[in-house]
Amino acid sequence: MSKKLIALILGIFMLLSVFFTGCNSKKPEETTGTGDDKTAEETGDRKPMTLSLWLPTDSSTSQAAVKQVEKALNEITELKFSTRLELHAVSDDEYQEAIDAKIDSIADVEQRIKRESESLKQKEIELAEQGIRMDEYVESEPESEIDEETVETMIDENGDTVSVYPEVKEDQLDIFLIRGYDNYKRYADEGLAEMLDSELTGNSRLLRTYIFPSFLECVNQGGIYAIPNNHVIGEYQFLLINKELAEKYDYDESEFDTFANCRDFIVDIGDMHLDGVVPLLGEVEPGNMVYFSSDGNWSLLADRVEAGYGYKSEIELGTIFDLPIVNDVIRVMKQVESLGYVGNGTVKEGEKFAVGVVKGDFTLKEKYEDDYYVHIHAVPYADEDDIFASMFAVSPYTKSVSRSMEIITYLNTNETFRTILQYGVQGVHWDIDPNDPDVIVSRSDDYKMNIEDTGNIFITYPDFGVPMSFWDGAKQQNLDSATSPFIGFEYVTDANRAEYEELAKLSARIKAQIDAISYENLSKELGALRKQMAVNNLLVDMLNEKDSEMEDSFAAMYKVYSKGK
């Protein structure tokens, strides 16, 4: 090994303690909060820092547009935080691969440094045996890197002294977007995303007032490792009752609060055989059901959640026969099907329906409310796909967790900053509609982002031509929502998979039997099935936690969600 190489390795060795204790170590000047509008100069001098921000974009986005947006963002962050951003906008279909490749490349650097460190230690031992100190062996001191605590300056074209921002290093990754529960869990388990709990109780606590509470509760899997982007949850199922027909035949709207209470109306309209009228639009299932199964499909073990149910609330896990709403819906559907009064889910031009259940977001209410009484059959329901759809995380290879969190917090709380990242530069990519100051119009097609991937959707414009007031209904949709109680529980394992497969087969068989029951024999045959299931060994064991083969993960979930909590 040459002395020149030893000198280089020695320089690396001097930095190892910093590298391996975390390049995200906070320093006093990095702890300025973001809860006010003070600039970096007003809150105290801080050294210039450059952070990387990685996120997906549409394939039509040009790199020239990305640089324009980067410049506009930096005009804000340099003044407020003494932070510059290097924006990496990667085509959506290549984004995940790009992030994983970046993390792998940094891991390679870590391994190389580790190998060089071990080599250096070995050389030091060899020299010590010869009575030679390392500093005597090295011919000259290694060239030291620029002290990162030193703030460099330069004179700009106006003669002003300005700070020089460092380049993003090859082994640096700061803010990146995580999409999906599997990725979130992988990054958290492998230490590839920083735990952010302390930031959320400290400098970034403002986030808790901007992000829907269930989002933060659900992503807390032994710690919060990413900040979910606020967005609209799920979809409604609206129960629609035709106003004209109800009023004509003396039905009161108050009678139609549930689907089961619409039975007489459906039958009466059907018995009249009115031209162009479908008594029931299509098949109706009980709303807001949660099924205990390996894949979330229909199961004999189930419960029903309500609006505002919350995360990790107690559910009364039982069989579907214990739920009145299931029995009520089955009875109504069996009767109207036997009479031939159920449509195929659609109506022809010029037709209308007496009663129907439709799925969609809050805008459906406005679409139908002129002609139909609109009631909620099922509230929006947030599952893992919804909660973990889009989250900003901080890499362990960041220059600073707190400085990265300042940027994430600003994307969730500041309208101007948030709008630039989503829509680009005002006057270049978009502008205010001259006829409506609450609406923006597009000026360019070379910068397109997914609104859920760039921060809190509720503090920027919904879309070109759509006013901010659009979000009023969206916010109400979230307030009306329920959250899956099963989020984050991986209760199916190799050891207990057989039980869940047996449950799935049993559930499919009983579901087929229920579907085949005639209306005339419904009460008798449902009663017989209920008695059979009450003594079914598998169901009894799963409900009472008597099966010794069940894994601890199931036991933990049972304790959280069972009647006997």
Residue 57 shares a structural domain with residue 124: yes
Residue 83 shares a structural domain with residue 136: yes
Is 521 inside a domain boundary? Answer: yes
For residue 202, what are its two tokens? 């400290």
Is 93 inside a domain boundary? Answer: yes
Residue 510 shares a structural domain with residue 418: no
* Residue 116 half-sphere exposure toward CB, CA atoms < 13 A: 18
pLDDT number for residue 15 = 38
Is 336 inside a domain boundary? Answer: yes
Residue 184 shares a structural domain with residue 202: yes
**Residue 104 three-state SS:** helix
Instruction: Report d(CA 429, CA 69) in Å as an integer.
Output: 9
For residue 554, what are its two tokens? 């199931």
How far apart, in Å, are the Cα atoms of 340 and each of 129, 259, 284, 320, 344? 97, 18, 14, 26, 11
Residue 259 shares a structural domain with residue 198: no
pLDDT for 537-564, tens place per residue? 888 888 775 344 444 444 444 444 443 3
β-strands 352-360, 277-280 pairing? parallel
Residue 66 shares a structural domain with residue 204: yes
Is 73 inside a domain boundary? Answer: yes
Mean pLDDT computed over every residue of the chain:
83
Best CA proximity match to 502, nearest among 457, 465, 550, 469: 550
CB of 338 closer than 8 Å to CB of 329: no
**Residue 555 three-state SS:** helix
Instruction: Report d(CA 403, CA 394) in Å as an integer.
Output: 10
CB of 539 closer than 8 Å to CB of 319: yes
- Lowest-pLDDT range of 107-121, 245-259, 549-563: 549-563
CB of 77 closer than 8 Å to CB of 32: no
User: What CATH number corresponds to the domain at position 79?
Assistant: 3.40.190.10
How far apart, in Å, are the Cα atoms of 247 and each of 38, 173, 280, 377? 60, 64, 17, 21
Contacts 24+ apart (CB under 8 A), 551-556: 551/491, 551/493, 551/495, 551/496, 553/489, 553/490, 553/491, 553/493, 554/491, 554/496, 556/489
Tell me the DSSP string of 410-450. Answer: HHHH-HHHHHHHHH--BTTTEEEETTEEEEEEE--SS----
Say which residue, 128 or 179, is predicted with more confidence. 179
Is 141 inside a domain boundary? Answer: yes
- Lowest-pLDDT range of 128-137, 336-345, 460-469, 517-526: 128-137
pLDDT for 180-217, tens place per residue? 999 999 999 999 999 999 999 999 999 999 998 889 98
CB of 173 closer than 8 Å to CB of 397: yes
Is 416 inside a domain boundary? Answer: yes
What is the length of the chain? 565
For residue 413, what are its two tokens? 């709380």
Question: Strand order of the sheet with strand 236-242?
Answer: 277-280, 352-360, 236-242, 372-378
Residue 245 shares a structural domain with residue 164: no
How far apart, in Å, are the Cα atoms of 428 and each of 69, 305, 335, 431? 10, 47, 61, 8
pLDDT number for residue 173 = 96
pLDDT for 445-458, tens place per residue? 999 999 999 999 99
For residue 271, what are its two tokens? 């018995």
Is 8 inside a domain boundary? Answer: yes
Segment (H or E) for 85:
strand 83-91
Question: Total structural domains in the chain?
Answer: 3
**Residue 552 three-state SS:** helix
Residue 256 shares a structural domain with residue 363: yes
Neighbours of 63 (CB within 10 A): 10
Residue 399 shares a structural domain with residue 539: no
Is 311 inside a domain boundary? Answer: no
**Residue 392 three-state SS:** strand
**Residue 325 three-state SS:** helix
Residue 501 makes CB contacts below 8 A (sequence gap 6+) with 294
pLDDT for 74-109, tens place per residue? 999 999 999 999 999 999 999 999 999 999 999 766
CB of 196 closer than 8 Å to CB of 394: yes
Please say if the pLDDT value at position 279 is more than 60: yes
Instruction: Report d(CA 90, CA 230) in Å as an integer.
Output: 22
pLDDT for 141-163, tens place per residue? 444 444 444 556 666 566 665 67
Instruction: Report d(CA 462, CA 457) in Å as an integer.
Output: 7
Residue 521 makes CB contacts below 8 A (sequence gap 6+) with none
Instruction: Show the domain range for 242.
Output: 236-286+323-379
> How open is the CA angle 165-112-151, to the nearest 5 degrees?
15
Tell me the DSSP string of 127-162. Answer: HHHTT--HHHHSSSPPPPPPPTTS--EEE-TTS-EE
Residue 335 shares a structural domain with residue 372: yes
Contacts 24+ apart (CB under 8 A), 139-147: 139/3, 139/4, 139/7, 140/7, 141/7, 142/7, 142/8, 142/10, 142/11, 143/11, 144/11, 145/11, 145/15
Residue 205 shares a structural domain with residue 65: yes
pLDDT for 297-317, tens place per residue? 899 998 887 765 444 445 567
Instruction: Report d(CA 201, CA 204) in Å as an integer.
Output: 7
Please say if the pLDDT value at position 19 is more than 60: no
Best CA proximity match to 97, nearest among 179, 190, 24: 179
For residue 249, what are its two tokens? 């035949």
Residue 205 shares a structural domain with residue 250: no
pLDDT number for residue 365 = 94
Please say if the pLDDT value at position 43 is more than 80: no
